[in-house]
């Protein structure tokens, strides 16, 4: 199983509350309901920074997305698909600063 972990920084000028609402409900709904996602993604999880913690210190990232795929080929097929490029990528720019976000492709090694 291949997992893509994305450390997401919110778009400049967007409040944490706006970011979390949009990512959770608008973008999350797009991903969850799209045939491309349902065909290639095995699991999609959003981890949101706790909004109350912003008062103490601005986090380096506003959240983390985890996308599980059966293989590197399925991951590549998803991120190179015309539907991703035409629908998902433009939507990401509505809430995320992709230039400040970080992507890593990993294989899990369960320990405990």
**Chain segment 42-97, per-residue pLDDT in tens:** 999 999 999 988 989 999 999 999 999 999 999 999 999 999 999 999 999 999 99
Region 10-17 average pLDDT: 96
Tell me how far apart the alpha carbons of residues 54 and 1 are, in angstroms, rounded to a whole number. Answer: 34
pLDDT of residue 27: 98
Tell me how far apart the alpha carbons of residues 112 and 109 are, in angstroms, rounded to a whole number. Answer: 9
pLDDT of residue 64: 98
pLDDT of residue 29: 97
pLDDT of residue 59: 94
Q: Which domains does the chain have, with CATH numbers?
A: 2-106 (3.30.70.100)
pLDDT of residue 28: 97
Residues ≥6 apart with Cβ < 8 Å to 28: 46
């Amino acid at each position: 199983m291949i997992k893509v972990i994305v450390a997401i920084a919110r778009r400049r000028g967007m409040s944490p509350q706006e970011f979390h609402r949009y990512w959770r409900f608008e973008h999350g709904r797009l991903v969850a309901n799209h045939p491309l996602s349902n065909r290639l993604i095995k699991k999609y999880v959003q981890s949101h920074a706790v909004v109350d913690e912003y008062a103490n210190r601005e986090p380096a990232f506003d959240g983390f997305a985890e996308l599980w795929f059966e293989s590197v080929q399925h991951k590549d097929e998803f991120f190179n698909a015309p539907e991703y490029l035409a629908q998902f990528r433009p939507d990401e720019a509505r809430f995320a600063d992709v230039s400040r976000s970080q992507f890593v492709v990993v294989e899990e090694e369960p320990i405990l």
